[in-house]
Amino acid sequence: MNIHYKVGDGTYYNNIDALAAFTKDAANGLEYVLPYKFLNNTKLWQKEPPHSVHYYMDKHAQILKDKYNRIELRYSGGTDSHTVLDSMTRTNVPVHLTHLQGSVMHRDWSLRLWDHNFKDMQNVTQRNNVQSFDLVNIDDLNTNNFDRYLQTYQGHCGTALLHTPSFIEIMYDQIVRTGLVNERTVTVFGKEKPNLVIENGWWCWKMNDAMFSDCHYNFENTDVVLFYFSDDVPELQIKLSWARAEVTEKIARIEKTKITDQWLGKIQRPSSSWYQYILDACGYKALNPVLNSVFTKASDPNGTRIRDLRQYNDKRGITKLFQEYGQDIRSSIRDDFYTLGNASGDNGFGGEAVTHVAGVWTKSIPIRPVTPDLLTDRVV
C-alpha cells in the first residue's frame, strides 16, 4: 500500500510537504491519492452492486484468508473494526486481534473505559476464529523520540497536532515487532466509511486525508490492508457509498428538507443525531453502545481532555517542541492552510500554537444523480 500526495509531478508522503509544494505553485494542483485501480473506473461506480454490504465484506474476508497465513486486525471495538471482525467470524477467518491503549488519554478515564468494555472484550476472545488478543500499551512520546516521529510521520498532520501523537510512535515501533519473517502476514485496518459530497447535482464519493491519519504505514515483512478498500472486491466501497446516498435521501424526506452542502456535512458527522441510523443502514456495528461513538474513544466524558493533553506535553518536555514544529509549519505553507489556537482552545499546548492543518482531498467520483426534488435550485 502506498498512500501519497500529488502536486504536479511531485510525490509526497505527508500533507505538510504537499501543502508546502502547493504553496509554491498552486497551478500544479493538489490531490490525495489512494492506490486502488477501481477509484479510476468511474463507470464501475455508476451501477449499484446487486448484493448486500455484508456479502462483499465476507467475500473480502475470504480472499484475505486464502491469501495470508496470519491476519492481524487492529481492533478498537468500534464500528469499523468490530464490523470487520464480525465478517471474519461469519466466514471463519482465523484472526489475531491487537488493541492499543495509550497515555494520551486521561488515566482514570482510560481505565474506566477499559473496565466497562472488559467483559465484552473477553467474550470476543471466545470466538472460535479469534486466535489471540494482544493488549498493547503505547509508548510515551518524549524529547528523545520526538525528532524520529517527525522524520517518519506520514499522512495528515492536523490530527497529530490536535491529539498528542504517541499512538503514531507505537505504530512506528511496531514495524519491527509485528513483522513476522517467513510468513505471509497482513495487518488489517477497519478503514474507511465513504464520505459523500454533491457536485453538479450528483452524489459523489470524495475522501479527506484526515480520515486515514493512523494507517499510512508500510510495515516490514507484513502487508497492510484497508478492509473497505480492495481492487479484488471494489463493490464493497461502492455499495457502501450507494447505501449512504440512499439513507441520506431518506433522512432528508423524513426531515422534509432540501439537501444542501451544509446540511449534508452536518448529517455525516459522528455527532449527528442520525449517525446511528446511517450506521445501521450501511451494516456497521460496534462491540457495544459505548464504543458505537468515536467520541467515547477520543475524549474524556468528564471534560478533562484538554487539561490532560497539556499536562502530558509539559510532563514529557515536548510542549516547546510542538510549538517550534508549529512555527516550521507556518513558515512553509499558506496561512489559510492552518488554524492557530491558544491556551483556551481545544488543543494540548500552552500559548499560541498551530492546532490544525488543512486536510487534502481525493478527486471526486460521480455515483448517481441526487433525486431532483431533494435539491435546491443551487446547492450551497
Q: How far is CA 10 from the centre of its chain?
A: 24
Q: Judging by beta carbons within 10 Å of its beta carbon (0-12, 13-18, 19+), is residue 345 exposed, middle or buried?
A: middle
**Average pLDDT of the chain, as a whole number:** 84
Determine if residue 155 is left, alpha or beta; phi over 0 gives left, psi from -120 to 50 gives alpha, anything else beta.
left
Q: For 45-54, what is each residue's pLDDT tens digit?
A: 999 999 999 9
Query: What is the per-residue pLDDT for 163?
Result: 47
Mean pLDDT of 35-64: 98
Of the pLDDT bands very low, low, confident and very high (cuts 50, 70, 90), residue 147 is confident
Q: How far is CA 19 from the centre of its chain?
A: 20
For residue 157, give its domain range.
51-305+363-374
For residues 334 and 20, give the distance between their C-alpha atoms in angstroms, rounded to a whole number.
Answer: 8
Is it the case that residue 66 has pLDDT exceeding 70? yes
Q: For 273-285, what is each residue's pLDDT tens digit?
A: 999 999 999 999 9
Query: What is the per-residue pLDDT for 271?
Result: 84
For residues 61 and 227, give the distance between their C-alpha atoms in angstroms, rounded to a whole number.
Answer: 8
Q: Is residue 46 part of a domain?
A: no
Residue keyed to cell 473494526: 81
| 159-173 per-residue burial string, b: 16 or more CB within 10 A, e: under 16 | bbbbbbbbbbbbbbe
Instruction: Give yes or no for a contact between 352 and 340, defined as CB atoms under 8 angstroms apart.
Output: yes
Q: Is residue 76 part of a domain?
A: yes
Number of domains, the chain: 1
Look at strands 95-101 and 130-137 and give their pairing. Answer: parallel
Query: What is the per-residue pLDDT for 103?
Result: 55
Q: Is residue 138 part of a domain?
A: yes
Q: Is residue 355 part of a domain?
A: no
Share above pLDDT 70 across residues of the chain, in percent, rounded to a whole number: 78
Of the pLDDT bands very low, low, confident and very high (cuts 50, 70, 90), residue 175 is very low
Q: Is residue 42 part of a domain?
A: no
Query: What is the per-residue pLDDT for 320?
Result: 80
Q: Is residue 94 part of a domain?
A: yes
The dihedral sign for the CA sequence 348, 353, 355, 361: negative
Query: What is the per-residue pLDDT for 149?
Result: 72
Least reliable range by pLDDT among 212-216, 313-317, 375-379? 375-379
Whether the link from the prior residue into 220 is cis, omega within 30° of 0, is no
pTM of the full predicted structure?
0.89
Closest alpha carbon to 161 in 342, 328, 323: 323
Query: What is the per-residue pLDDT for 361?
Result: 96
Query: What is the per-residue pLDDT for 298?
Result: 52
Count the neighbouring beta carbons within 10 Å of the beta carbon of residue 286. Answer: 23
Q: Is residue 225 part of a domain?
A: yes
Is it the case that residue 245 has pLDDT exceeding 60? yes
Residue bearing the bigger pLDDT, 346 or 195: 195
CATH number at residue 123: 3.40.50
User: For residue 236, which phi and psi values (nearest 5 degrees)?
Assistant: -65, -55
Q: For 79-121, what is each residue's pLDDT tens digit?
A: 999 999 999 999 999 999 998 776 554 455 566 777 788 899 9
Mean pLDDT of 293-307: 57
Q: Is residue 89 part of a domain?
A: yes
Cα torsion at 294, 300, 306, 312 (round to 10°)?
-100
